[in-house]
Structure 1
Amino acid sequence: MSYPTPMVIANLATALSDKSWDALVIVAEKFLDVLPEPLNEVIKNQAEFDLRINKELMSFISEDVNQRRVVLAPVGQTSRYFDDVRSYYDAAKKAASVVLNMGAKKPLLVVLGNDKAAYQHAELVSYLGFAQALWQPLEAREALGDLIEPISLVGIVGQHLDGANAAALESGRYVARDLCGTEPERMAPPQFAEYCIETFERTDVEVTITDDMPTIQAEYPLLWAVARASVEVKRHQPRVIRLEYTPPGAVDKTLMLVGKGIVYDTGGADLKTGGHMAGMSRDKGGAAAVAGFMKTVAELAPLGIKVVAEIAAVRNSIGAEAFVSDEIITGHSGVRVRIGNTDAEGRLVMADLLSKLREEALDEINPLLFTVATLTGHAARSVGPYTALVENGVSRAKGFGELLVQQGDLLADPCETSRSRREDYTFVQPRTKADDLLSSNNGPSAVTARGHQFPMAFLSIVSGLDKHDVNDDQPLPYIHIDIAGSGVEGGDWQHGKPSAAPINALFGAFINA
C-alpha cells in the first residue's frame, strides 16, 4: 500500500452530492451557517442537543447526508498572534483516527479555511495531517497486510490546492516515515539502501550505493570509525547512498544534502545506559527525511533545480572493534579529529560526505549545502518540537534560514534559527598539536552550553566549509538542520510516529518557491 492519494474537487456542491464517498470530514473554525443546505440544517439540528459542536471533535450519523458518516473537526482559535496552521493539521489528524474507527474507506475532506495569509495552505496541511494519522509502520504492513491501511483515496474539496504538490509531498513523507520508523534489523544499512533502490525505480533520480568495505574505509575514514564494530556482522555493514536528480535543460540552483542515517545507536564505547538506548532505531531520521525529500523531488521533477543527496547508513555498535574516545582520526578533508565521545557519532558519519559535497559544490551552479540529523538533545531542549537551523555566514546573509522558517510556518513544519558564534568554533578547537579538531565534549549535549550550535562549527571545519564562508573567495551557503526535537510526534523517540520534518519546509522554500 502507499499514501492515500488526494483527489481534488473544486465544487463543494458536486462533492457533497457524490454518494460514493462514505464519510464526510469537515475541518473548520465553526460549522453553523457556513455550509450549504441540507447539511447546514443537519448540523443545526445536531447542535440543539450536542454542545460539543464548534468546541471539540465529534461524529454522528445522518441519513440526510449522502456520505452518512459526519465528522466535525474544529481547529480552535486562529486570531491570536501565536496561532498557526498546525491547528488544521492537528484537527484533520484527529479526524482521520475517528474515520478509521468508524470503518470508512473513502472519506471526503472539506476544509473551511480563512483569508489570513498564515492559513493559505490550510487545505494542503489538513490533507497532510489526515494522511499522517493513516500511516502504519512498514513492519506492521508486512506482517498484517495492506488492510491495516484501508484508505487509499481521500477526496478534498478545495479551490487553492495543487493535487500534484499534495501527492508528491505525502509520497515523500511516507518514505521518510518508513525509513525512520522501522526497527534496526529490518532497516539495517543494506536494507536502507535496498529500500532506496526500490523507491527510486522508474524515476529520474539516479541511485548509487557504495558497499565495498575497503572503499568506505579509504574514502570515508570518520564514517568507517563509527562503523568499525558493525563490519564483522555482514547484515550490519555500512552503506553510502547517493541520490541525484538532474533536471532537463538549464540548472539555476543546486541543493546538496547530507543525511545522518544511524540505524541504531548504542552510544558505542560511551554506551547509552539507564534505558536511554530505546528508540535509537530512529537515529536515522535525518537520512530518512533526506530520502523522503528526494522522493518528493522525483515525483515533481522540477525544472531548473538539481538535487544531490548523500546518506550515511551506519550502525554504531559496541564490540571489540569499537572506536573509543581519545582516538585521532584523519577525515576526508585531511583534518585530524580527536574523538571526545563515541555517542557524538552522527557528526562523524556526515563529515566525510559533507567534505566530498563541498568539493563538488565548487563546480555547481548556485549551490546550497545542508546536513540533516537527529543530532542533539540540546536542540529538543532549546526549541522543543521545532526544527533547529544553524547557518553559516553565507546562508545567513542570503536569508536562506529565514526562508525555511517562513515556509515551515505556512506548511505546518516550523523551524527556528540559531546563530553560529565564535564560542562554537572555540569549543571544538584542539587542545594539543596532535590533532586539529575536537569532535565533542564528554557530557550530554542537553546540559552543554550551546550544545546544538557547536556541532555546526565542527561540521564546517571538518568538511573544509569554514574556508568558504562569507568573506572568502568562494563562499558556499550551508545550513545544519537538527530535527532531534521535531523528528517524531510528541518527542517520543521510542513510540511516537515519525513526523517527516523538515520535508515540508524544504519543499516550500526551495521547490515550490
Structure 2
Amino acid sequence: MAYPTPVAVPSLQSAAPSDWDALICIAENFRQLPDAALTDFVSQQQWIDQRIGRETVTSICPAAPGQRLILAPTGPLLRDFDDVRCIADVAKIAIQQAKAAGAVRPLLWLQTPADPRYSEALAVAYLAAAQALWQPLEGREARGELQVEPVLAIGLIGLPADEANFLAATEAGRRLARDLCGTEPERMAPLRFADYCVDAFAGTDVKVKVETNTEQLLVDYPLLMAVARSSLAVPRHRPAVIRLEYNPSGPVSKTLLFAGKGLVYDTGGADLKINGGMAGMSRDKGGAAAVAGFMKTVAMLKPAGLKVVAEIGAVRNSIGSDAFVADEIITSHAGVRVRIGNTDAEGRLVLADLMSHLRQQAKDAVNPALFSIATLTGHAARAVGPYTALVENGAARKNGVSAQIAQAGDIWGDPSELSSSRREDFAFIKARSCADDVLSCNNAPSSVTARGHQFPMAFLVVAAGLDQSSALENSLPYVHIDIAGSGVDGGDWQHGKPSAAPVTSLAATYLR
C-alpha cells in the first residue's frame, strides 16, 4: 500500500538536485521565493505569461529541480472566512500538474501566512496532495500502482524533521480509509472488507478479531443481523464484525472506543432506494473505513498511555423475500425493543449493537470516550454541507470533546460543525405503545426531517443502552460523527474521491 512519502527538507539550498525533479511553490504572490534566481526568473516570466499569479502554471526553469517549476497562487488568505483549505485546494492542482509533467519526486515550498489558522499549512498541503494523487484500489490492482500512482515522495521544505513520521502515519490511515470506502461492493464485500483489515494490521500492535459465524452474530448483534438478513442467502455477502484493539506498552491514561458503520452496499432494503438513489451506495461504509484508517495511524505511531478499541460492522443491506421490514420489533444487544420505522435507516441499527458492546467495555476502561462514525443521514449533508457533523451528549460537551476535534480540524483542513443533542430528539424516537421501547426513525427522508441528523444520536443512546444519568460525571462521553457531507470530495458519492474524514482531525487531537 504505497503512497507518496513525506520527506522533511530543511531548505531548498540543502536539497540535493539529483533527489528531486520539480519544485512546487505555493504562495499568495511570488515576489519573494526561496532562491533569488527563482525570484528573478518568475519576475521575467510574468511579462511573457500573464497567467502567473492568477492560476497554477508549470514553467521550464533552469534554476528548479528537474527544470520543472509549478507556481500555485492561493489568492487572498487573511479574510475572515479564509482557512487552510485555500492552500489545500491549490496543492491538489499543483501536484496534478507535477504528475502530468512527469515528476515523481517533487519538492514543495509554501509561503506561510503569519496567522494561527495556517500553523500546519505545510502539512495540510502534503495531505491534500496525497489526497489528489490517490487512485481507486481496483484501478491500481488492474493497471499496477506505479502506472496510476507514479509519485513516490514529496519533499516539504521547512518541515520539522519530527513531523514527517506523524504525516506518514496519518496519510497511511487516510489511504486505508479511502481504499476501504472507495471500492466497489464486490471487491469490498463484507468478508473481503474484513480480509483487507486483517492484512492492513498484520505485524502491528493492533489485534484483529473477525466474527463471521452467523449464529453467534445473531446472539451478539441482533439488530445488525436484521439488516443482514436478506444477504445471508449469498455466502459472499454475509456479514462480519471486525474488532480492532490497540494497547500501549505502559499504563493507560485514556481510552477511545469507536463504532464504525460498514454498509458495503445499501439498497435501502424493503424501503428500496429509487430514482437512481443507489448509485454511490458502495461508499456507505465510509464510517467503518474511517475507523479502520484511524486505527492504522494508531498502529504506526504507537501512542503511549492511549488505549483504542474499535468495532466495525461490515454488512450488506440487500433486498429479497427475507428482508426485514418496517413495523418489525427487534430486541437490541442492550435488551431494548426497537420498532423499525424505515429499513433505509439501517446504519443506526448496526451501530447500536456495536456501541452496546463498547459500552460494556467502557465500564472498566480508564477515562473512556465513545464515538460512532457513519455516513448516516442526508440531513447532515443538507444542514452543514461539506463539513463533518459532531453531535455530542452532555458528558462530551462538559469535557469539550467535540470542541477539541473541531479546533484541530480547522487547523488541519478537516473541519467540523458542532451539533447538540436536545430533548426534542429523544421525544422524536420515543415509543408510541407498550410493544416497543424506541422507534428507529420516521418514514420520510432525513433531509426533509427537522433535526434529521441530530435525532439519530438519541436513538443510538437509547438502543445501545447508554446511561442517561443526570450526573454528568457518571455518564460516558459520547460523540456521534456523521460524515455524510464530508466523506467524499465534492459530495459526489459515486465518483468523488473519499476524503477519509475525520481521520486527520482525530489524529491531530489524540495522537500528537
Tell me which interval the TM-score lies in, with the shorter structure as reference length. Answer: over 0.9
State the partner residue of 2:63. Answer: 64
State the partner residue of 2:506. Answer: 506
What one-letter code is carried by the residue in structure 2 that aligns with 1:66?
P
Q: How does 1:319-398 map to 2 (within 5 A)?
A: 319-398=320-399
Q: Distance in 1 between matches of 2:294 and 2:329?
A: 34
- Give 3-state SS (helix, strand or coil) of 2:474's partner: coil
State the partner residue of 2:98. Answer: 99
State the partner residue of 2:253. Answer: 252
Q: How does 1:100-249 map to 2 (within 5 A)?
A: 100-146=99-145, 147-160=147-160, 162-249=163-250
- Give 3-state SS (helix, strand or coil) of 2:59's partner: strand
What one-letter code is carried by the residue in structure 1 that aligns with 2:486?
S
Q: Distance in 2 between matches of 1:207 and 1:109?
A: 37
Whether the aligned pair in 2 keeps the contact of 1:393 and 1:470 (CA below 8 Å) is: no
What one-letter code is carried by the residue in structure 1 that aligns with 2:97?
V
Q: CA deviation at 1:141?
A: 0.5
Q: Distance in 1 between matches of 2:197 and 2:447?
A: 33
Q: Distance in 1 between matches of 2:470 and 2:185?
A: 40
State the partner residue of 2:489. Answer: 489
Whether the aligned pair in 2 keeps the contact of 1:20 and 1:67 (CA below 8 Å) is: no
Residues 1:54 and 1:469: Cα distance change in structure 2 (over 3 Å): farther
1:330-388 Cα distance to aligned partner (Å, 9 max, x none): 00000000000000000001111101101110100000000000000000000000000
State the partner residue of 2:51. Answer: 52
What one-letter code is carried by the residue in structure 2 that aligns with 1:143?
A
What one-letter code is carried by the residue in structure 1 that aligns with 2:505?
A
Whether the aligned pair in 2 keeps the contact of 1:229 and 1:318 (CA below 8 Å) is: yes
Q: CA deviation at 1:67?
A: 2.5
State the partner residue of 1:13. Answer: 13
Q: Give yes or no for the alignment of 1:303 onto 2:304.
A: yes
State the partner residue of 2:38. Answer: 39
Q: CA deviation at 1:469?
A: 4.5
Q: Distance in 2 between matches of 1:7 and 1:399?
A: 34
Q: Distance in 1 between matches of 2:240 and 2:380?
A: 27
Q: Distance in 2 between matches of 1:392 and 1:374?
A: 19
Q: CA deviation at 1:39?
A: 1.2
Q: Distance in 2 between matches of 1:96 and 1:472?
A: 48
Q: Distance in 2 between matches of 1:65 and 1:355?
A: 57
What one-letter code is carried by the residue in structure 2 that aligns with 1:10?
P
Q: CA deviation at 1:112?
A: 1.8
Which 10-residue stretch deviates more, 48-57 or 77-86?
48-57
> TM (normalized to structure 1)?
0.98
State the partner residue of 2:79. Answer: 80
What one-letter code is carried by the residue in structure 2 that aligns with 1:420?
S
Q: Distance in 2 between matches of 1:136 and 1:72?
A: 24
Residues 1:171 and 1:247: Cα distance change in structure 2 (over 3 Å): same
Whether the aligned pair in 1 keeps the contact of 2:60 and 2:69 (CA below 8 Å) is: yes
- Give 3-state SS (helix, strand or coil) of 1:262's partner: strand
What one-letter code is carried by the residue in structure 2 that aligns with 1:321?
D
- Give 3-state SS (helix, strand or coil) of 1:110's partner: strand
Q: Distance in 2 between matches of 1:20 and 1:169?
A: 24
Whether the aligned pair in 1 keeps the contact of 2:12 and 2:34 (CA below 8 Å) is: no
Q: How does 1:470-485 map to 2 (within 5 A)?
A: 471=471, 474-485=474-485
What one-letter code is carried by the residue in structure 1 that aligns with 2:151?
I
Q: CA deviation at 1:21?
A: 1.1
Q: Distance in 2 between matches of 1:495 and 1:160?
A: 36
* Identity over aligned pairs, percent: 57
Q: Distance in 1 between matches of 2:66 and 2:157?
A: 14
Q: CA deviation at 1:88?
A: 1.2
State the partner residue of 2:268. Answer: 267
1:388-430 Cα distance to aligned partner (Å, 9 max, x none): 0000000001111111110000000000011111000000001
Q: Distance in 2 between matches of 1:151 and 1:267?
A: 39
Residues 1:469 and 1:374: Cα distance change in structure 2 (over 3 Å): farther
Consecutive aligned runs of 4 or more in structure 1 exceeding 3 Å deviation: none
What one-letter code is carried by the residue in structure 2 that aligns with 1:94?
I
What one-letter code is carried by the residue in structure 2 that aligns with 1:23?
A
- Give 3-state SS (helix, strand or coil) of 1:255's partner: strand
Q: Distance in 2 between matches of 1:132 and 1:201?
A: 24
Whether the aligned pair in 2 keeps the contact of 1:362 and 1:474 (CA below 8 Å) is: no
State the partner residue of 2:414. Answer: 413
Residues 1:511 and 1:20: Cα distance change in structure 2 (over 3 Å): closer
Q: What stretches of structure 1 of length at least 5 have no aligned partner?
A: none
State the partner residue of 1:429. Answer: 430
Q: CA deviation at 1:51?
A: 1.9
Q: Distance in 2 between matches of 1:66 and 1:393?
A: 54
Residues 1:283 and 1:248: Cα distance change in structure 2 (over 3 Å): same
Q: Distance in 2 between matches of 1:10 and 1:234?
A: 54
- Give 3-state SS (helix, strand or coil) of 1:19's partner: helix
Q: CA deviation at 1:474?
A: 2.7
Q: Distance in 2 between matches of 1:338 and 1:428?
A: 10
Task: Note the aligned Cα RMSD (angstroms).
Answer: 1.1
- Give 3-state SS (helix, strand or coil) of 1:509's partner: helix
Whether the aligned pair in 2 keeps the contact of 1:254 and 1:305 (CA below 8 Å) is: yes
Which 10-residue stretch deviates more, 216-225 or 33-42?
33-42
- Give 3-state SS (helix, strand or coil) of 1:14's partner: coil
- Give 3-state SS (helix, strand or coil) of 1:294's partner: helix
Q: Distance in 1 between matches of 2:64 and 2:276?
A: 51
What one-letter code is carried by the residue in structure 2 that aligns with 1:236?
H
Which 10-residue stretch deviates more, 121-130 or 26-35?
26-35
Q: Distance in 2 between matches of 1:240 and 1:66?
A: 49
- Give 3-state SS (helix, strand or coil) of 2:65's partner: coil
Q: Distance in 2 between matches of 1:422 and 1:511?
A: 34
Which 10-residue stretch deviates more, 142-151 or 336-345?
142-151
Q: Distance in 1 between matches of 2:399 and 2:128?
A: 31
Whether the aligned pair in 2 keeps the contact of 1:24 and 1:110 (CA below 8 Å) is: yes
Q: CA deviation at 1:273?
A: 0.4
Q: Distance in 1 between matches of 2:102 and 2:21?
A: 9
Q: CA deviation at 1:183?
A: 0.1
Q: CA deviation at 1:76?
A: 1.6
State the partner residue of 2:316. Answer: 315
